[in-house]
Structure 1
């Protein structure tokens, strides 16, 4: 299946819409709001669209959530780092379990560390460098498990093969 820009934009729009509609399902943890749906969408975007669409989608979703009041500024580093890393891992490995680990590491460790200056400087929250690693890990773990189940089901039914993803 040849993926045109129009197809990629349509899929990206649907995935962004899913995130925005599900944004009230976030769980407040300290200064952040854990949002597993974002991580589910990050992994689906990595497999279906690639790393740069995933990062763009994470940015747009975070921006809309912040403007709606259902997210915080900490949504940007967590979602975007996770989307980039899992997208790059999938692009070069085509391995779903490694992609899921990339999302977990990118969101929790890289995103958690990148969230520190945002929390300290822009939000005025007192925190240490590793404050957000555990909450971001918990948030991304739920979405990662759901994404893995969906992707393995799509792979087993050969849907990913027909889409040229595996």
Structure 2
């Protein structure tokens, strides 16, 4: 895959995550769960690698914030989950590894990171357990959707490129 194709796929995943997040969401505790973002993180982690997955998550978070459909919490949640999805997939070579990485990165690590982040940037002073349930529900639902989709894409052999193969 050349760089132009890779950028085109990154733009496509960004568009899917941005638009899909405005269509499919549900309340999860204090936050809203956006499973499309997590599904895209898993798919991008497997199909493009950790670097492009993080860029997709960042641009998606930026676009959603500019459009008023996201919060500043989209940045740590999306980016940490996307990185771990791609990284664990590279280490295990199993799509479920990407799903585990997304759940761990967003559901656990990002929820802990969100506490000081929310205090500094959002003026909120809440504990880690305030974010944990919402982040876990959102990342779990989305990563399972992403896992099903990426397994289907690979099985159908419609994707010709995977990093480091």
Helix, strand or coil for the counterpart of 2:128? coil
1:29 positional shift: 4.1
1:30 positional shift: 5.3
CA RMSD of the aligned region, Å?
Answer: 1.7
| Cross-structure match for 1:74 | 73
Alignment check: 8 A CA contact 1:32 1:72 kept: no
Matched, 1:15 2:13: yes
TM-score of the two chains, using structure 2 as the length reference: 0.90
Query: Looking at both structures, which has the greater relative contact order when contacts are Cα pairs under 8 Å and sequence separation is at least 6?
Result: 2
| Cross-structure match for 1:148 | 147
1:144 positional shift: 1.1
| Cross-structure match for 1:96 | 95
- Encode CA deviations 1:98-135: one digit per residue, 9 max, x unaligned: 21111101111111111111212221223112321211
- Encode CA deviations 1:60-87: one digit per residue, 9 max, x unaligned: 1001101111000011111000001111
Equivalent pairs counted in the alignment come to: 163
Residues 126, 28 of structure 1: alpha-carbon distance in 2 compared, 3 angstrom cutoff: farther
Alpha-carbon distance between aligned partners in 2 of 1:149 and 1:29, rounded to the nearest angstrom: 22
Alpha-carbon distance between aligned partners in 2 of 1:62 and 1:120, rounded to the nearest angstrom: 19
Helix, strand or coil for the counterpart of 2:71? coil
| Cross-structure match for 1:39 | 38
| Cross-structure match for 1:158 | 157
Alpha-carbon distance between aligned partners in 2 of 1:117 and 1:22, rounded to the nearest angstrom: 28
Alignment check: 8 A CA contact 2:46 2:162 kept: no
